[in-house]
Amino acid sequence: MSLALSGTALTGAVRREELMLRVGKTVAITFGCLGVVLMYGPVAWLALMSISERPLTGKPGPFTLSWYEKLFADLRWLDPLLTSLGIAAIVSILCMITATAVGRTLPHIGRTGAWLLLLFLLVLFIPGVMLGVDFVMFYRLFLGIRTGLWSLILAHFVWAFPFALLGVIVVAGRFDTRLLESAADLGAGAWRRFRDIEMPLLFPGILSAGFFGFLLSLNELPRSIYLRGGATTLPLFQWAEAASHTTMVPLIYGLSTLITIASLALTVIALRQLFKGDAA
Amino acid sequence: MAAASDNRPADPILVVRDATRRFGNVVALDRVSLTVPRGDFVTLLGPSGSGKTTLLRIVAGLETPSEIAELSISGQDVRGIPANHRNVATVFQHYGLFPHMSVGENIEYGLLVRKRPAEERRRRAKEALEMVRLPDKYDRRVHQLSGGERQRIALARALVTEPDVLLLDEPLGALDERLRRDMQVELLRLQKSLGTTFILVTHSQEEALTMSGRIVLLNHGRIVQDGSPQDLFDRPQSRFVADFMGIENVLEGRITELRSRAAIVSINGAEIVGCPIPGFAPAVGEKVFFAIRAERLRISDSPALSDENLNSVRCEPRLRIYKGNHYDTELETPVGTLLCRQVDVGQIPESGYALWEPRHCVIGPLDSATRQS
């Protein structure tokens, strides 16, 4: 008896294989598209609403730019935006510095590093609202720190730091520390070794730490609710206005659309910067 | 300048005295001393874990010795001085080229941190590229280079700073056979023309023999022999040296008789005449090793005549291996399996005699440097 398949059986097997492959491909594409629609559908719909005459009905059209005109006539949102941008910029810089300092060390100190990383990342699993309450309890009631701009910066930094750290660690783990030895051997002191060799090679990670810090701070709401003190950030403003059933609501649609477009543009620029470094 | 003690060369470029390095309970380097005269090409040879790289890294300043009595480069005490303030340069096996810099920037880096002006850096980098025969690679990126080219760039980068001592840590280990031979010649040429002191670390005895005028052989963190290639190859001080230098036939026996400048060793009833290595005075009854190189053996179909003064043992040729320019034949003999190397191959008898001269058979102590407290 021959173990080889006969000609027709073989063709059958090949056909079945091809069919499976085609089915698999279709399923993958379907779910992929579904995911994209679920993620970006609401954003696109919001954008559509922002140029519709009666956005609160939830139906598009007829189209108009009047909400945007009103948005730029009533600039109450400008102060919260500037506050948010300022906080985000500070958090971003803090993230770059601290994530670099911690991230460059952790991959090279063995088991201690792994435990420390776990410790740094664990905070991600605490619900944001709870963390906000915890912060108020600990910082304001126990340590006596006044809430306001600085408590917001602190909370946003604690929130963004684990992400920023991940950005640096991914790059730092691949960094060949022997390069620092060869730099020392060529006469470079500790600072020059960092500036000339380590920092340029970690730069994609440092940059991503900065972007994480910036974007996470810019969009942060749950912790900010508790720690705002007298300060109002853009998400707080949007949230308050969207919840208040005032005439401001349609304006928020326009504002959100603009912020989203700006964020996306920033992200695209950041990613291009990152990969430009890689390709060189 | 510090006064040199009398057994030193007048102007040693490197003095290491009693360097010890421990990693936990492991002694990587055990009271090693080394003096290198200016302009020499010295090879540190040894198996992995012998401490050769540790010694090199201590000289470079990349490793801190647990204890050291003296460490001076060009007459200057460099103990406690970090790597970046020592005028030595290292060529690493992994090259250590900076991937984010061009070839030119890599070579200029040592000059940049020494704050040399830009046009001088560029001129000297170009000269260095010229020297390693890659004159048109200045603007290349590191990842565009082949392994051999990276090796040469690493060499140029180390030499451009004009170090007192160039340290080479298995620099040719990652190259393929042909390229390695070319680079060996290249290194020799450079060392001769520059007159810089080179210290090369390698685990290849063939490379050590080719490259340098002096081989320092290490094992278990200690120097087991320090001498010319001929010394190590023809007069191994211990069984380990004989084995490591690739002497094909190393056997053990017991001394039965001493003559002037010769000794007779008995092994499995056969009596072998050989020459004790200089400085070794064996006693009758002492266990010793004796070593014969494969090319010193010859096969004959009759035993040696008594007046020929040759060692001769019965042998049966077994496996014959073709090696390109010679043949290796395994001989089964009463003293053990011997390897015989022949350039032209005649008729090999079914059984015969292996013959060799007593002066080609060195006798040495068994326990020298093979054990340590």
pLDDT tens across B273-316, in order? 999 988 888 888 889 998 999 888 888 888 877 767 888 888 88
Extract the tokens encoding A218: 């810019």
* B88 and B171 share one domain: yes
B160-191: string of b/e by CB count within 10 Å (b at 16+)? bbebbbbbbbbbbeebeeebbeebbebbeebb
Q: Among B234, B256, B285, which residue terminates a domain?
A: B234
**Which of the pair, B1 or B276, is modelled with greater confidence?**
B276
* pLDDT of B352 above 90: no
Q: Among B234, B252, B286, which residue terminates a domain?
A: B234
Whether B1 is in a domain gets the answer no
Q: Distance between CA atoms of B28 and B222, rounded to whole angstroms? A: 9
Of B85, B96, B161, the CB nearest to A179: B96
Look at A246-250, B39-43, B337-341 and tell me which has the smallest mean pLDDT.
A246-250
Q: Among B197, B216, B234, which residue terminates a domain?
A: B234
* pLDDT of A266 above 90: no
Q: Which residues of A touch B92 (CB under 8 A)?
A: 178, 181-182
Report chain A residues touching chain B, CB-CB < 8 A: 176, 178-179, 181-189, 192, 196-197, 200-201, 280
Q: Show which of residues 110-149 on chain B sit within 8 Å of chain A, judged by CB atoms.
A: 110, 113-114, 141
Contact call for B109 and A181, based on CB within 8 A: no
Q: How far is A140 from chain B (nearest CA, A)?
A: 47
Tell me the pLDDT of chain B averaged across its residues: 88
Per-residue model confidence (pLDDT) at position A104 = 92
Whether B161 is in a domain gets the answer yes
Confidence of residue B220 (pLDDT cuts 50, 70, 90): very high
Per-residue model confidence (pLDDT) at position A185 = 95
Confidence of residue B113 (pLDDT cuts 50, 70, 90): very high
Of B85, B98, B114, the CB nearest to A179: B98
What integer is the mean pLDDT of B215-233? 92
Per the omega criterion (within 30 degrees of 0), is the bond before A62 cis? yes
Of B62, B96, B100, the CB nearest to A200: B100
Sign of CA dihedral A231, A235, A236, A241: positive
Per-residue model confidence (pLDDT) at position B371 = 39
Whether B333 is in a domain gets the answer yes
* pLDDT of A120 above 80: yes
Tell me the pLDDT of chain A averaged across its residues: 86
Write the secondary structure of B184-251 as one string of H (helix), E (strand) and C (coil): HHHHHHHHHHHCCEEEEEECCHHHHHHHCCEEEEEECCEEEEEECHHHHHHCCCCHHHHHHCCCCEEE
* B312 and B275 share one domain: yes
* pLDDT of A241 above 50: yes
pLDDT tens across B20-66, in order? 999 999 999 999 999 999 999 999 999 998 999 999 999 999 999 99
What integer is the mean pLDDT of A52-65? 82
Identity of the amino acid at B274: G
Whether B2 is in a domain gets the answer no
* B259 and B160 share one domain: no
Q: Distance between CA atoms of B28 and A86, rounded to whole angstroms? A: 56
What integer is the mean pLDDT of B65-70? 94
Whether B296 is in a domain gets the answer yes
Structurally, how many domains does chain B consist of?
Answer: 2
Q: How far is A139 from chain B (nearest CA, A)?
A: 44
The edge-to-edge listing of strands for the beta sheet with B12-23 is: B26-37, B12-23, B70-73, B76-77
* pLDDT of A135 above 70: yes
Whether B250 is in a domain gets the answer yes
Extract the tokens encoding B202: 């390698």
Q: Give Cα B184 distance to the centre of its chain.
A: 13
- Beta-strand ranges (E) seen in B38-182 are 41-45, 70-73, 76-77, 88-91, 165-169
Extract the tokens encoding B45: 């040879």
For residue B317, list its beta bridge partners: B331
* B143 and B272 share one domain: no
* B250 and B279 share one domain: yes
* B221 and B275 share one domain: no
Q: Which residues of A touch B94 (CB under 8 A)?
A: 176, 178
Confidence of residue A162 (pLDDT cuts 50, 70, 90): very high
Do residues B66 and B119 touch, judged by C-beta distance below 8 A? no
Whether B56 is in a domain gets the answer yes
Q: Distance between CA atoms of B337 and B231, rounded to whole angstroms? A: 25
pLDDT tens across A215-227, in order? 899 988 888 888 8
Identity of the amino acid at B254: R
* B245 and B226 share one domain: no
Per-residue model confidence (pLDDT) at position B129 = 94
CATH of the domain at B73: 3.40.50.300
Q: How far is A184 from chain B (nearest CA, A)?
A: 5
* B144 and B99 share one domain: yes
* B95 and B163 share one domain: yes
Do residues A197 and A203 touch, judged by C-beta distance below 8 A? no
* pLDDT of B335 above 80: yes
A43-53: string of b/e by CB count within 10 Å (b at 16+)? eeebbbbbbbe
Per-residue model confidence (pLDDT) at position B1 = 37
Q: Which residues of A touch B161 (CB under 8 A)?
A: 186-187
Contact call for B100 and A179, based on CB within 8 A: no
Q: Which residues of B touch A183 (CB under 8 A)?
A: 98, 109
For residue B27, list its beta bridge partners: B22
Do residues B302 and B353 touch, judged by C-beta distance below 8 A? yes
Confidence of residue B9 (pLDDT cuts 50, 70, 90): low
B81 has a chain A CB within 8 A of its CB: no
Per-residue model confidence (pLDDT) at position B6 = 47
* pLDDT of B104 above 60: yes
Do residues B320 and B329 touch, judged by C-beta distance below 8 A? yes
Q: Which residues of A touch B108 (CB under 8 A)?
A: none
Q: How far is A177 from chain B (nearest CA, A)?
A: 9
Do residues A165 and A209 touch, judged by C-beta distance below 8 A? yes
For A195, the 3-state DSSP assignment is helix
Angle (nearest 5°) at CA B261 between B256 and B266: 20
* B251 and B228 share one domain: no
Contact call for B90 and A187, based on CB within 8 A: no
* B152 and B289 share one domain: no
Could you tell me what percent of chain B has a pLDDT over 90?
53
Q: Find, in chain B, the residue whose alpha carbon is nearest to that of A195.
A: B113
Whether B220 is in a domain gets the answer yes
* pLDDT of A3 above 60: no
Per-residue model confidence (pLDDT) at position A245 = 65
Contact call for A186 and B157, based on CB within 8 A: yes
* B161 and B129 share one domain: yes
Per-residue model confidence (pLDDT) at position A280 = 42
Confidence of residue A149 (pLDDT cuts 50, 70, 90): confident
Structural domain of B313: 240-365
Look at A86-95, A122-131, B231-240, B332-341 and tell me which has the smallest mean pLDDT.
A122-131
Per-residue model confidence (pLDDT) at position A11 = 85
What integer is the mean pLDDT of A218-241? 86
Among residues B90, B15, B86, the alpha carbon closest in space to that of B57 is found at B90
Could you tell me what percent of chain B has a pLDDT over 70?
94
Q: Which residues of B touch A186 (CB under 8 A)?
A: 84, 89, 109-110, 113, 157-158, 161
Do residues A240 and A110 touch, judged by C-beta distance below 8 A? no
Residue A183: CB atoms within 10 Å: 25
Helix (H) or strand (E) segment spanning residue A63: none
Q: Is B70 exposed, middle or buried (0-12, 13-18, 19+ CB in 10 A)?
A: middle
Per-residue model confidence (pLDDT) at position A188 = 94
B359 has a chain A CB within 8 A of its CB: no
Per-residue model confidence (pLDDT) at position B347 = 67
Among residues B273, B311, B291, the alpha carbon closest in space to that of B364 is found at B291
Look at A18-32, A261-275, B279-293 and tell me which has the smallest mean pLDDT.
A261-275
B172 has a chain A CB within 8 A of its CB: no
Per-residue model confidence (pLDDT) at position B370 = 43
pLDDT tens across B118-162, in order? 999 999 999 999 988 899 999 999 999 998 899 999 999 999 999
